[in-house]
């Protein structure tokens, strides 16, 4: 059996994209030109998709126009074709791709899934035109609020539960306001871990009731355990007390001794025999006491009177602790957990009412679809058939995503078609977004079988200089071993098995510098020193000719970045700043939209418009406009009467007008009014902000208030893209740096702990043992307290993963560097291995013995990288100002309403003026005979309410049957309605040609105007000019059915 | 370069002396308009204009079926659908699918497909070949490809598909029958009718009129049939095409032309070779990459002003009319309009102004939401509206325009009385508008209600300049349609359903702009450019998903089956757009493309394929640009406020002799200590938030209710045995507590004496929490009893003399002071996070480090108490009854200093230092030379009102 399924184990800088592009091209070129439409390439990042597409097109264009390069060589070789064939085939394929572009299937996993879902919406009971929602926090706020509104007599169960929840919290001395906690918890429902167990949880009829029972049971469990231990412990203490044996008599006094154990338990605290000291102490009293005269006497008492109790306690503890400790963990989130069904329900309502699909739900949703239909049918619905799948960044696939792909891949495989996946388990850092490296590491091969799969390592590093490659090879091989040893699990080693990379260019160039600090003489912590070091690094690099913008400072967390940015900002204006050097830095943080003056002006203006009584908004607006608080600005802004002085009158004058505008127009007019468009340095922010506004009002609503709410939630995440053209060092987080590369990388705080991303997550577990297995699933917070519970295994597994996450982060950080890697951190040698910094140093100690003195480490000479800039033919264009005008001045919308409504309100309906309607119908009717048809059509078009229809009809007929006019509508006339004459502007309502006479009729529904006459006279002249005999003209005033003869035969007829 | 239609006009004038016996048929009305203009420009003296129709009008003219509006059609379809499928899907849910199904039917007819054949269920039929001998092999192939899978492994989605599929023929026939009965029909029906009748026999009226078709490209089968028949009868066709895409078989743009050139009837109409304008007429092309969208509009705006400068001023509008801005992305209309140069006066926009952007839409949407959320209180049985919508409506521009004064009053009342749900009677007013809007309406009357509102506004908003009446007019049109529909339907949707429907219908609607169609700068959608040519062409949003627009959503007819019956598929649409794109370029001389470099949230939307084609294939010179603005990183300017004369004057309100007689409260002192700027902004400048309805029953509410209840409760106790309290006194009944809590709520929400308090939403929680808290307090106190209550909620204020001679008042309220066993406890209830622990007196006055507000406050109380009631024999013990101490394992009253485990028993020894520092702070506040400034301790900023002002 041929290996149709390739797994590329890539590593940092191993040319993933190129490999993928190459594979694609090989497939596309090897068969008939249209073949490309059978290939689906999937990437994860949005930008990657575009990158991939343009890469492929560029390559093909190169080949088609005979430009050769390594790739073309390789391809010719693999396909065994000559230059001309490559050239011609490439030309064909390129052309056909460009013109059947819809079949050029390279997309993100989300985009692909959306496509499938869209084609199954009906079957899936979705509304067709649903909107894709990504702002989950925005949604959750609504959901939880709605849940809270439900409290009351109609939902007693819910109410009681929530009340008890809050009370419980209060009794724990926590914040009773559960809303916040619920929001946090509710985030879970978007995680796959939850979705995996969702159905099982929701299956229960009355979950709150079940939970209540479980709750009582658990609390009882815990209580009995506590009470037993408490009473025994107190007894023990009493005995000791009675024999006045004091804390001080114990070895180590209070700290972690059996005495403290008694005390804590007697206070009802949970306290396990978790320390060595206790473990041994409960076996026998021998080592309990300090040396001293009474020691033996004490010992005797202890052995005879206390130890029996202790043995009882131990026995009991062994019996019951596991369950009650588990119970305690379970109880932690139990109340929130109990509300999960209601939260999910509320979320459903939200989706329904707002007709949205939440992106986080998509893959599970699709899972339903895919399971319920066989692959060919899916293809059929989607409208395209795929044979070859090329999937990128596979380490970040979630299990649901994988489940969705398997059937498709399997189908392809069964047909014997080739597919491949590329990924790097070492760079899997998105577990908190449900990415699961196990799939790539183990599952795939399991599912497709050794026979079919071939694993190909991409083991050359095209990114970094040799010295860095070598260093990382050594570093991560043994770092992985150390971590594996520490957590005693093989996984890390497995994951880093292929870490070893070959060097490609600059074989023994590039450099690594590391510096580890201790608290120094003037009592400065390592962090201060590390930060202070950064400018020095920069100077050194610039000395060698590096540009500031080629440097990246990679940090673990955002606030670290901010701290550094702040420091450098100040540093610039200190004496230490050396002239001629640049210390500029940018980060997403420093480019946040809400740092922009213009943006703040707009926002505070909106705040003010939302509620003109809001003095904070007033004050801020005034301040932002003026720029300083002089002349008691704030006092005026705060006062009832004076605040108007602080705001531009033209602004206050337009308040009413503003209230009429939709969100986007409003912000535009604010920009215009305050001339914000005239500050060049602000334009980038202004544009980005307006794009946000446009997006929001198009996607969500036009309502200012909800925009402001949304802005509050997301402003911290909105910033303008860091642009390469500013000469400043980039400060990025490790996650932000993924997939990127920088010539010089500084990792100043190489010391993050082997902990979780931000807050420790909940683990959704399926309990197997009594009594917990009565619950379909459970949410437990990850913590060491899970040891010695029923979930110790789960704990252990997560524990390993956490270590791996952080090791991977380290890998990503260290492998961004092309030419220079600079690292600093604290000196560590505790052997506890709880921070990456320590692992790094441990490796240095071992592998670079003699090269590493515990503080400094260096490989290679600090130097600069040979330039590899590719020239673009793009001209940079600046927007010199932000034009913004009030178009209403220039343009009117069609006037129909002004006549439609009567000015004064009379009783219902007749508020509508039917004049125009009548006019329109009349000018369509040729003869009496077709009147009814025209009317019918007309009513259909204008959807007139029956009342109106009849009214109109009455008038129309009364015209047609009008004694004077009735004969106009007879067949003796030839009729031109709405007659149009070239070189004459308006159309004539009605021209009638009779035997040697011609009659012009114009209907008027307004008041009489002298202009009316002039107009028809003009018509008459034109007709005469055109040679029509005896032109006659009438004006018909519909209001009162008066016919006026403007030109009679007589006064035209000549003698 | 002469426009296609002008060329044609010239030719026509040359070939005909009179025009009124000619009949022109164009793809759309606009072409006719331009054509007429060009004709006029070719003649000297007036002439009857020829008859001119859009193909649509032409079909309608030759059919006796009339076409109702889409909404009506969908509703008719809905009625048939539900009766055939025997399901009771609601109309609002159906609407979208109805639209889709209607589109399918429309296509089936326009492409003259036999519906009953198409909708056959072939899942069972093994051998297609004999059953469908009239099908071509290719067709059979597609059909097999599709149906094959059905016989094999069935699946849920397939079954669902089949259920639907089997019903469709019936739906189709019933639907068309029903329409026909009233001689109604949708486009497709009309087309099919005409096609069938014309192909049999051409009516005399057409026979002897000279027909001329111009500017057509993608013909439906019906159109093709009709036109062929007429051509056979001598009608003429003029095509607008270019060699560039017709001669090259790969160019989808030329796909249809290539077919017609081979067509048995149409081929004849291609006289001579096609022009080569695309490559040969001189062109200047520029291509600008822009991050996202707004930038494109702004750049285009600047480009227009540049063009404007070069144009001859004599007949500007005419000159301008040679320039077009094309907006494939409709939502770019407003951004574009706002970016046009100030000096530009003549604009013509062929797209409409979106109804959803009108103030009236917002108002009606709010009104509907108000009706959706209206509710009758389970207790009072009174109907009320939620304050959110009510306030939004009262604050809406139209209310301000018509009844500002009253509206404002209502708002203030609602806020003052903290009405979460506003009873209707509280919403009435002099002005009729109130009665009209604020009444509970049953969803069955929805449309009457809305019509009434719209008419009300329509007739009262009389300002001639504003657009309000137009908005009203258009809403009136659409709502009337809904009205007529629901008047005949048995079950009206509930308000939710109505809302969904309303949104779906209104979101799509546009209000047409007027303006000289043929003069001034033209702003158009892609489709409107058909047949028109311009010298300067500016196209925005050239991204995939915009141009070509995404494959239109969904169809009930699967892809393969569409192919089998030659119904249009996605590539058909792509080809149409390709033609529109290239055609627009072929005669233009200045072309600017703009596209966004930012993909959408799921990574779609790179540069449009058509751009890629032009760049890679045409080899025309293209100037590539990228928008890039210099970015500057904002430095944060510290805010420092000097103590001006005005400030000092305002501060004086805290001085004893002044009339205001205000006093510095502990919390304001805390503010000052934590951040002097905050103190200034809050206490001096009075920069406070506006009051809003407290729907969020938050900590603040809890605190105030707890205090009231505790005050009343202990008040009663005190008065029992003039101050003495024993343990047994403290056993209070639940009834009593409940009573007091009710009372507290009433006072807080300004309710009437007898008004029952409704516990709903978070109020319930608060009530329970207050109870629990209070119970705990009582429990703790009974452990402490007996004691003597000395003060309850007692106001005090203390004069502090400054060197400047000023006497400043420092004051506050002591929750409780009680005494027993020689110790006076100064008690403060705290429901927040406050702690007992504080480092030392210094720390209480130091905002830069961690500083314990509660401790400061209670010690201040203690200090005051000491000054007034000190007895040397008594200890003074300030402390908190806060959540973690009250509910903690072992409760001991009192604050904790430094690392002491045990609470401090007597504060007296500290008071001297405290007093000293207190004087210093107050002195500092009044020291004219010390300005107010921001704290350096950003922790204090976390929950500060002025965060964004301070950029913290
Ligand atoms: S935000 Fe911070 S600095 Fe600004 S006023 Fe509030 S506390 Fe002071």
Model confidence at A1, pLDDT cuts 50, 70, 90, reads low
**CA pair distance A736, A720, nearest whole angstrom:** 14
Question: Closest ligand 1 atom, CA of B681?
Answer: 5
pLDDT of residue B128: 64
Question: Closest ligand 1 atom, CA of B676?
Answer: 8
Q: What is the pLDDT of residues A669-721, one digit of tens each?
A: 999 999 999 988 899 999 999 999 999 998 888 889 899 999 999 999 999 87
**CA pair distance A53, A102, nearest whole angstrom:** 12
**CA pair distance A996, A197, nearest whole angstrom:** 90
What is the pLDDT averaged over residues A817-824?
Answer: 96
Contacting residues for A346 by C-beta, under 8 A, at least 6 apart: A143, A144, A146, A147
Residue A418 CA from chain centroid, whole number: 33
Distances (CA, A) of B410 to A243, B375, B414: 77, 19, 6
* Ligand 1 binding residues, C-beta < 6 A: B 675, 677-678, 934-935, 940-941, 944, 946-947, 950, 952
Residue B217 CA from chain centroid, whole number: 38
Helix (H) or strand (E) holding A1050: helix A1049-1052
Looking at per-residue pLDDT, the higher value among A411 and B109 belongs to B109
* Burial classification of residue A54, based on how many CB atoms lie within 10 Å of its CB (0-12 exposed, 13-18 middle, 19 or more buried): middle
pLDDT of residue A760: 81
Residue nearest ligand 1's atom 4 by CA: B950
**Chain B, window 356-385: residues with a beta carbon less than 8 angstroms from a chain A beta carbon:** 356-359, 361-362, 378
User: What is the pLDDT of chain A when averaged over all its residues?
Assistant: 88
CA dihedral A510, A511, A512, A517 (to 10 degrees): -150
**CA pair distance A574, A586, nearest whole angstrom:** 19
**CA pair distance A237, B208, nearest whole angstrom:** 119
Distance from CA of A310 to the nearest CA of B (A): 24
User: What's the B681 CA to ligand 1 centre distance in angstroms?
Assistant: 9
pLDDT of residue A1054: 36
Please indicate if any CB of chain A lies within 8 Å of the CB of B648.
no
Burial per residue of B244-282, b for 16 or more beta-carbon CB atoms within 10 angstroms, e otherwise? bbbeeebbbbbbbbbebbebebbeebbeeebbebbeeee
Looking at per-residue pLDDT, the higher value among A1053 and A1047 belongs to A1047
Minimum mean pLDDT range among A59-68, A242-251, A594-603, B401-410: A242-251
Q: Do B765 and A176 touch (CB under 8 A)?
A: yes
Distances (CA, A) of A849 to A486, A852, B220: 21, 6, 81
**CA pair distance A475, A482, nearest whole angstrom:** 11
Mutate which of A894, A907, A977 to disrupt the B interface (most B C-beta within 10 Å)? A894
pLDDT of residue A296: 87
Which of B682, B684, B932, B946 is the pocket-test mutation for ligand 1 (most atoms within 8 Å of CB)?
Answer: B946
Distances (CA, A) of A661 to A139, A655, B357, B744: 26, 10, 8, 42
Q: Do A664 and B335 touch (CB under 8 A)?
A: yes
Contacting residues for B378 by C-beta, under 8 A, at least 6 apart: A152, A153, A154, B758
Q: Are A823 and A513 in contact (CB under 8 A)?
A: yes
pLDDT of residue A903: 67
pLDDT of residue A246: 85
State the DSSP code for A250: B
pLDDT of residue A835: 93
pLDDT of residue B567: 94
Greatest CA separation for chain A: 155
**CA pair distance B288, B290, nearest whole angstrom:** 6
Residue nearest ligand 1's atom 7 by CA: B941
Q: Do B45 and A638 touch (CB under 8 A)?
A: no
Say if strands B347-349 and B536-539 run parallel, antiparallel, or are unpaired. Answer: unpaired
Q: Do A680 and B629 touch (CB under 8 A)?
A: yes
Q: Do A166 and B768 touch (CB under 8 A)?
A: yes
What is the pLDDT averaged over residues A578-600?
Answer: 91
Residue ranges for chain B with pLDDT beneath 70 = 126-131, 378-379, 515, 552-553, 694-697
**CA pair distance A661, A1018, nearest whole angstrom:** 43
Please indicate if any CB of chain A lies within 8 Å of the CB of B622.
no
Q: How many CB pairs under 8 A join A and B?
A: 481
Q: What is the pLDDT of residues B522-550, one digit of tens each?
A: 999 999 999 999 999 999 999 999 999 88
Q: Are A803 and A491 in contact (CB under 8 A)?
A: no
pLDDT of residue B697: 54
pLDDT of residue A871: 64
pLDDT of residue A1055: 32
* Burial classification of residue A318, based on how many CB atoms lie within 10 Å of its CB (0-12 exposed, 13-18 middle, 19 or more buried): exposed
pLDDT of residue A1050: 47
Whether the predicted pLDDT of A1053 surpasses 70: no
Count Cα neighbours of A59 within 13 Å in the Cβ-side half-sphere: 28
Distance from CA of B721 to the nearest CA of A (A): 32
Q: Do B688 and A615 touch (CB under 8 A)?
A: yes
User: Beta partners for A764?
Assistant: A779
Q: Which of B345, B624, B698 sits opposite A874 (nearest CB)?
A: B624
SS (H, E, C) B53-64: EEHHHHHHHCCC
**CA pair distance B895, B918, nearest whole angstrom:** 19
User: What's the A138 CA to ligand 1 centre distance in angstroms?
Assistant: 27
B639-B640-B643 Cα angle (round to 5): 145
Residues in B touching A377 (Cβ below 8 Å) = 149, 155, 157-158
Please indicate if any CB of chain A lies within 8 Å of the CB of B802.
no
**Chain B, window 141-180: residues with a beta carbon less than 8 angstroms from a chain A beta carbon:** 146, 148-149, 153, 155-158, 160-161, 164
pLDDT of residue A912: 64
Residues of chain A with pLDDT > 90: what percent? Answer: 46
Which of B934, B948, B951 is the pocket-test mutation for ligand 1 (most atoms within 8 Å of CB)?
Answer: B934
What is the pLDDT averaged over residues A769-789?
Answer: 86
CA nearest neighbour of B336 among B350, B319, B356: B350
| pTM, rounded to two decimals | 0.92
């Amino acid at each position: 059996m041929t290996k149709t399924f390739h797994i590329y184990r890539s590593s940092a800088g191993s040319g993933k994209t190129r490999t993928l592009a190459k594979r694609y091209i090989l497939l596309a070129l090897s068969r008939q030109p249209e073949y490309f439409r059978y290939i689906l390439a999937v990437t994860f990042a949005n930008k990657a998709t575009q990158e991939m597409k343009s890469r492929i097109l560029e390559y093909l264009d190169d080949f088609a126009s005979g430009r050769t390069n390594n790739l073309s060589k390789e391809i010719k070789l693999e396909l065994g074709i000559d230059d001309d064939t490559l050239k011609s085939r490439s030309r064909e394929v390129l052309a056909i791709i460009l013109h059947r572009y819809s079949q050029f299937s390279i997309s993100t996993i989300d985009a692909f899934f959306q496509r499938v879902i869209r084609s199954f919406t009906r079957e899936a009971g979705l509304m067709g035109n649903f909107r894709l929602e990504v702002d989950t926090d925005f949604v959750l706020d609504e959901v939880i609020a709605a849940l809270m509104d439900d409290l009351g007599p109609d939902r007693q169960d819910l109410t009681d539960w929530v009340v008890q929840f809050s009370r419980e919290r209060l009794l724990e001395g926590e914040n009773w306001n559960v809303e916040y906690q619920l929001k946090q918890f509710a985030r879970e429902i978007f995680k796959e871990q939850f979705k995996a167990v969702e159905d099982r949880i929701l299956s229960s009829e009355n979950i709150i009731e079940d939970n209540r029972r479980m709750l009582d049971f658990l609390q009882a469990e815990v209580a009995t355990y506590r009470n037993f231990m408490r009473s025994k412990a107190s007894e023990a203490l009493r005995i000791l007390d009675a024999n006045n044996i004091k804390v001080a008599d114990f070895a180590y006094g209070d700290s972690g001794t059996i005495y403290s154990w008694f005390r804590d338990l007697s206070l009802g605290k949970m306290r396990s025999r978790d320390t060595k000291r206790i473990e041994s102490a409960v076996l026998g009293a021998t080592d309990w006491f300090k040396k001293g005269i009474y020691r033996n006497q004490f010992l005797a008492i202890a052995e005879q009177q206390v130890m029996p109790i202790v043995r009882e306690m131990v026995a009991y503890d062994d019996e019951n602790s596991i369950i009650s400790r588990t119970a305690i963990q379970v109880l932690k989130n139990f109340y929130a957990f109990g509300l999960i069904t209601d939260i999910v329900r509320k979320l459903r309502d939200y989706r329904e009412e707002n007709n949205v699909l939440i992106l986080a739900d998509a893959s599970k949703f699709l899972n339903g679809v895919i399971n319920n239909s066989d692959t060919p049918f899916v293809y059929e619905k989607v409208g395209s058939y795929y044979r070859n799948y090329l999937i990128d960044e596979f380490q970040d696939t979630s299990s649901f995503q994988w489940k969705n792909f398997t059937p498709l891949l399997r189908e392809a495989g069964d047909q014997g078609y080739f597919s491949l996946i590329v990924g790097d388990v070492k760079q899997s850092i998105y577990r908190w977004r449900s990415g699961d490296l196990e799939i790539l590491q183990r599952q795939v091969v399991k599912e497709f079988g050794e026979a079919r799969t071939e694993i190909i390592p991409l083991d050359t590093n095209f990114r970094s200089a040799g010295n860095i490659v070598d260093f990382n090879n050594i570093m991560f091989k043994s770092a992985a071993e150390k971590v594996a040893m520490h957590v005693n699990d093989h996984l890390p080693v497995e994951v880093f098995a292929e870490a070893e990379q070959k060097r490609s260019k600059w074989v023994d160039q590039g450099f690594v510098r590391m510096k580890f600090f201790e608290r120094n003489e003037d009592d400065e912590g390592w962090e201060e020193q590390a930060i202070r070091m950064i400018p020095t690094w920069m100077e050194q690099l610039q000395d060698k000719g590096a540009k500031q913008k080629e440097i990246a400072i990679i940090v673990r967390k955002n606030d670290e970045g901010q701290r550094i940015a702040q420091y450098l900002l100040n540093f610039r204006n200190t004496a230490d700043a050396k002239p001629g050097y640049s210390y500029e830095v940018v980060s997403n943080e420093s480019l946040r939209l809400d740092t922009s003056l213009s943006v703040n002006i707009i926002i505070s203006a909106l705040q003010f418009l939302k509620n003109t009584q809001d003095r904070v908004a007033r004050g801020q607006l005034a301040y932002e406009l003026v720029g300083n608080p002089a002349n008691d600005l704030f006092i005026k802004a705060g006062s009832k009467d004076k605040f108007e002085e602080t705001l531009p009158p033209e602004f206050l004058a337009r308040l009413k007008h503003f209230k009429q505008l939709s969100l986007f127009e409003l912000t535009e007019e604010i920009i215009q009014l305050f001339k914000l468009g005239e500050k060049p340095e602000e334009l980038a922010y202004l544009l980005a902000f307006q794009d946000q506004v446009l997006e929001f009002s198009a996607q969500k609503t036009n309502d200012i208030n909800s925009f402001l709410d949304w802005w509050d939630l997301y402003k911290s995440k909105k910033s303008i893209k860091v642009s390469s053209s500013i000469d400043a060092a980039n400060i990025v987080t490790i996650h932000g740096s993924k997939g990127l590369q920088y010539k010089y990388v500084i990792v100043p705080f190489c010391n993050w702990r082997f902990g979780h991303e931000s807050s420790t997550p909940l683990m959704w577990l399926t309990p197997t043992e009594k009594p917990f297995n009565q619950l379909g699933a459970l949410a437990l917070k990850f913590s060491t307290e899970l040891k010695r519970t029923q979930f110790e295994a789960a704990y252990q597994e997560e524990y390993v993963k956490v270590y791996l996450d952080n090791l991977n982060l380290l890998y990503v950080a260290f492998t961004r560097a092309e030419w220079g890697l600079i690292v600093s951190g604290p000196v560590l040698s505790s052997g506890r291995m709880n921070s990456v910094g320590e692992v790094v140093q441990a490796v240095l100690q071992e592998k670079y013995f003699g090269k590493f003195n515990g503080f400094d480490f260096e490989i290679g000479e600090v130097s600069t990288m040979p330039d590899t800039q590719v020239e673009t033919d793009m001209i940079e264009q600046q927007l010199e100002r932000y034009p913004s005008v009030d178009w209403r001045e220039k343009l009117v919308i069609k006037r129909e309403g002004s006549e439609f409504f009567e000015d004064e309100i009379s009783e219902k309906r007749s508020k509508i003026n039917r004049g125009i309607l009548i006019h329109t119908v009349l000018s369509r009717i040729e003869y009496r005979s077709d009147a009814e048809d025209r009317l019918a059509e007309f009513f259909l078009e204008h959807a007139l309410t029956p009342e109106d229809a009849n009214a109109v009809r009455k008038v129309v007929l009364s015209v047609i049957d009008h004694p004077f006019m009735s004969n106009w509508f007879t067949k003796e006339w030839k009729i031109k309605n709405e007659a149009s004459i070239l070189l004459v502007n308006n159309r004539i309502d009605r021209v009638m040609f009779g035997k040697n006479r011609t009659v012009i009729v114009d209907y008027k529904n307004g008041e009489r105007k002298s202009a009316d006459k002039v107009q028809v006279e003009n018509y008459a002249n034109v007709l005469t000019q055109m040679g029509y005999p005896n032109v006659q003209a009438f004006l018909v005033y519909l209001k009162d059915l008066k016919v006026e003869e403007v030109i009679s035969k007589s006064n035209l007829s000549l003698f | 370069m002469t426009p296609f239609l002008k060329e044609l006009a010239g030719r026509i004038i040359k070939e005909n002396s009179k025009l009124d016996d000619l009949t022109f048929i164009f793809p759309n009305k606009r072409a006719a308009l331009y054509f007429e203009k060009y004709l006029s420009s070719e003649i000297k003296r007036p002439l009857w204009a020829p008859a001119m129709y859009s193909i649509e009008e032409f079909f309608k003219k030759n059919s006796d079926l009339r076409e109702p509006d889409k909404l009506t059609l969908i509703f008719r379809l809905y009625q048939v659908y539900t009766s055939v499928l025997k399901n009771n899907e609601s109309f609002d849910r159906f609407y979208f699918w109805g639209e889709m199904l209607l589109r399918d039917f429309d296509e089936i007819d326009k492409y003259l497909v036999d519906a009953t054949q198409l909708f056959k269920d072939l899942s069972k039929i093994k051998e297609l070949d004999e059953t469908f001998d009239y099908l071509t092999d290719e067709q059979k192939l597609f059909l097999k490809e599709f149906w094959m899978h059905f016989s094999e492994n069935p699946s849920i989605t397939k079954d669902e598909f089949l259920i639907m599929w089997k019903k469709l023929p019936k739906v189709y026939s019933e639907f068309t029958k029903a329409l026909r009965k009233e001689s109604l029909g949708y486009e497709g029906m009309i087309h099919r009718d005409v096609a069938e009748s014309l192909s049999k026999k051409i009516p005399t009226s057409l026979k002897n009129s000279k027909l001329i078709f111009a500017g057509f490209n993608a013909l439906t089968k019906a159109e093709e049939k009709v036109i062929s028949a007429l051509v056979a009868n001598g009608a003429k066709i003029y095509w607008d095409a270019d060699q560039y895409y017709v001669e090259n078989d790969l160019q989808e743009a030329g796909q249809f032309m290539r077919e017609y050139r081979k067509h048995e009837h149409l081929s004849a109409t291609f006289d001579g070779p096609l022009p080569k304008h695309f490559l040969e007429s001189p062109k200047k092309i520029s291509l600008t990459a822009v991050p996202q969208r707004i930038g494109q509009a702004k750049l285009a705006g600047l480009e227009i002003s540049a063009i404007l400068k070069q144009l001859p001023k004599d007949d500007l509008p005419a000159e301008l009319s040679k320039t077009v801005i094309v907006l494939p992305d409709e939502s770019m209309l407003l951004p574009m309009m706002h970016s046009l140069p100030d000096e530009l006066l003549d604009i013509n926009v062929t797209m409409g102004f979106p109804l959803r952007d009108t103030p009236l839409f917002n108002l009606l949407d709010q009104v509907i939401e108000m009706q959706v959320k209206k509710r009758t209180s389970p207790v009072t049985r009174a109907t009320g509206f939620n304050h959110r919508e009510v306030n939004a409506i009262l604050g809406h521009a139209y209310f301000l325009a018509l009844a500002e004064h009253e509206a404002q009053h209502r708002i203030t009342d609602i806020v003052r009385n903290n009405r979460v749900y506003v009873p209707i009677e509280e919403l009435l007013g002099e002005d009729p508008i109130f009665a009209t809007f604020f009444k509970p309406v049953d969803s069955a009357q929805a449309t009457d209600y809305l019509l009434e509102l719209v008419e009300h506004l329509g007739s009262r908003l009389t300002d001639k300049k504003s657009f309000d009446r137009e908005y009203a007019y258009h809403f009136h049109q659409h709502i009337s349609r809904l009205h007529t529909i629901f008047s005949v339907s048995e079950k009206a949707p509930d308000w939710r359903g109505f809302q969904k429907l309303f949104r779906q219908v209104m979101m799509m609607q546009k209000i047409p702009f007027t303006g000289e169609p043929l003069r001034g700068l033209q702003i158009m959608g892609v489709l409107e450019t058909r047949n028109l040519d311009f010298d300067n062409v500016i196209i925005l949003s050239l991204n995939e998903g915009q141009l070509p627009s995404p494959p239109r959503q969904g169809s009930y007819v699967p892809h393969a089956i569409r192919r089998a019956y030659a119904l249009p598929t996605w590539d058909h649409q792509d080809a149409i757009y390709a033609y529109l794109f290239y055609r627009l370029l072929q005669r233009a001389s200045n072309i600017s493309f703009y596209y966004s470099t930012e993909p959408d949230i799921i990574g779609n939307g790179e540069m449009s394929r058509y751009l890629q084609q032009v760049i890679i294939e045409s080899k025309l010179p293209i100037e590539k640009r990228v928008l890039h603005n210099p970015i500057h990183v904002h430095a944060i300017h510290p805010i420092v406020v000097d103590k001006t004369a005005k400030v000092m004057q305002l501060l004086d309100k805290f001085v004893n002799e002044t009339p205001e007689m205000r006093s510095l409260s502990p919390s304001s002192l805390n503010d000052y200590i934590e951040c002097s700027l905050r103190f200034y902004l809050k206490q001096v400048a009075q920069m406070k938030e506006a009051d809003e309805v407290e729907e969020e029953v938050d900590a603040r509410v809890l605190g105030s209710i707890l205090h009231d209840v505790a005050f009343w409760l202990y008040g009663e106790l005190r008065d029992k045995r003039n101050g003495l309290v024993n343990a047994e006194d403290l056993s209070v009944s639940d009834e009593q507590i409940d009573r007091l809590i009710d009372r507290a709520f009433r006072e807080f929400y300004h309710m009437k004496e007898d008004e029952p308090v409704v516990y709903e939403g978070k109020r319930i929680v608060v009530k329970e929490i207050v109870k629990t808290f209070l119970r705990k307090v009582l429990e703790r106190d009974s452990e402490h009893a007996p004691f003597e209550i000395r003060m309850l909620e007692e106001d005090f204020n203390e004069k502090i003399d400054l060197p400047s001679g000023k006497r400043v008042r420092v004051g506050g309220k002591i929750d409780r002071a009680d005494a027993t066993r020689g110790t006076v406890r100064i008690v403060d209830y705290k429901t927040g996070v406050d702690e007992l622990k504080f480092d030392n007196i210094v720390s209480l006055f130091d905002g830069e480090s961690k500083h314990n507000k509660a401790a400061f406050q209670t010690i201040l109380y203690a200090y005051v108490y000491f000054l007034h009631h000190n007895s040397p024999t008594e200890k003074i013990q300030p402390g908190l009854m806060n959540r973690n101490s009250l509910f903690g394992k072992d409760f001991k009253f009192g604050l904790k200093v430094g690392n002491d485990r045990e609470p401090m028993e007597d504060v007296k020894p500290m008071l001297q230092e405290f007093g000293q520092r207190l004087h210093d702070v107050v002195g500092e506040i009044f020291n004219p030379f010390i300005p107010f400034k921001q704290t350096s301790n950003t922790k204090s900023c976390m929950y500060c009102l002025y965060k964004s002002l301070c950029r913290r």
